[in-house]
Amino acid sequence: MRPCKSVCVVYRKISPELYRGFEEKATRYNKYLIAEPEKALLDWISLNRQEGLPTPSDELHLQFLTPAELRDYALRFPRTVSEAVKEFLVEAAFPSQNPDDRRPRVER
C-alpha cells in the first residue's frame, strides 16, 4: 500500500466463493445487497488478516449474532478466520475472569 498525504482509498476484495450471506434491500431508486451481520464480521476478520492487522474482540457485541450461522459461514473462510470465530464464541460463552485474558490473542 502506498503512503498517502490526506485521504486514502483502499480497495480490497473477497473471493467469489464467499459471495453469499447478503440480504437484498430496496430504496426508492435502487436495489442493493447488504451483508448479514455474521457475514460482515467474517469479512472484517478476513480483510484485517489480509492486511496483517490484529482482530480485536473487546468491542464486539456478539449477542446480536446467530452462532449457528456464524459457524456455517466460517466454514467457507480460511482456517485462520474460522479459528478466530471459535475463540470469539468460546470467550462469549465462557468469559474470562482475568481482564488481561478477555481479549483473545488472535494473531496472523
Can you give the residue ranges of every domain in the chain?
A: 16-101
- Is the pLDDT at 107 greater than 90? The verdict is no
- Is the pLDDT at 1 greater than 50? The verdict is yes
Of the candidates 56, 71, 67, the one whose C-alpha atom is nearest the C-alpha of residue 103 is 56
Mean of pLDDT over the chain: 83
pLDDT digits (tens, 9 = 90+) for 73-87: 999 999 989 888 888
Question: Distance between the two ends of the chain, CA-based, in angstroms?
Answer: 19
Binned at pLDDT 50, 70 and 90, residue 41 comes out as very high
Handedness of CA 69, 73, 79, 85 (dihedral sign): negative
